[in-house]
Amino acid sequence: MGIFLFESRLINSSWQSKKRSHSHPAQNGNPKHPVTLQTRCGFFATIKSLPSVGCTPEVNEADYRDYSSSFFAGLSGRDRTGKTVSSADYNQDGRISYAEAHAFAKVDEKSNDLPISTSEAWLQNKISPIQKKAILTQSISQIFKTARPEQRYVINSLMKKFSLDKQKPAKQILGDIDNDKIPTDEQHAYLKRLNRELINIAVEKQIRTNGNQKDIAILDRLVKCESGSWKK
């Protein structure tokens, strides 16, 4: 099993795109190729179409706002300065999984990054833009029912930031927000993270409901890999 954490730090945009394209589990990161036989999964600072925050000019480590800082804080329980952070053991099994650290980073990281994992890249690639819009006509509470503990943490935390109503359709909630009242790129990113989290949960449900055994087997393998941890 291989676990990879990528956060592009070079300025060369072609290098960044190449590295982040490997978030997809197919051979060479190409969605048109079959999924690799090896069990691999990765966690990435942002989607392949965006540059990540990466390097920071900050000298004081307490001011770092990058994905890897948040990810390892969630995984270890301490930030770069050694300060204890809230536990990311969202399923309360006594250990912090990579997926839980990834969830912690989605809420903790104060940047315009859109963190993504291999399974999430795979899920996002399984549906069309039209299908995504259809998913968001469901209420958040409906989508929430099949969420794993770490996904529930992300949804609850991000909704709390904007005082959103879980009973309303996701599309209505996100559409009703006055963009002029969201002053920072970071807050816009939080809303985009919420949008993507809801879609990931709903697509996983669709795949398991449709009963395509090949897709279910791939998904199970990726979820199992991402659910691993330092503590076996």
The pLDDT tens digits for 61-108 are 455 568 988 999 999 999 988 999 999 999 999 999 999 999 999 999
> What pLDDT is stored for residue 20 in this prediction?
42
pTM for the structure as a whole? 0.83
Any bridge partners for residue 6, and if so which? Answer: 44
Low-confidence stretches of the chain (pLDDT < 70) are 1-38, 54-65, 176, 178-181, 231-232
Q: How far is residue 232 from each of residues 94, 137, 187, 227, 229, measured CA to CA in Å? A: 11, 40, 36, 11, 6
Token match 């589990």: residue?
25
Q: How far is residue 220 from each of residues 104, 213, 214, measured CA to CA in Å? A: 22, 10, 10
- Inter-axis angle of helices 213-226 and 98-108, to 10 degrees? 80
Q: Which helix (H) or strand (E) holds 5?
A: strand 2-6
Any bridge partners for residue 2, and if so which? Answer: 40
> What pLDDT is stored for residue 23 in this prediction?
56
> What pLDDT is stored for residue 132 in this prediction?
92
> What pLDDT is stored for residue 201 in this prediction?
98
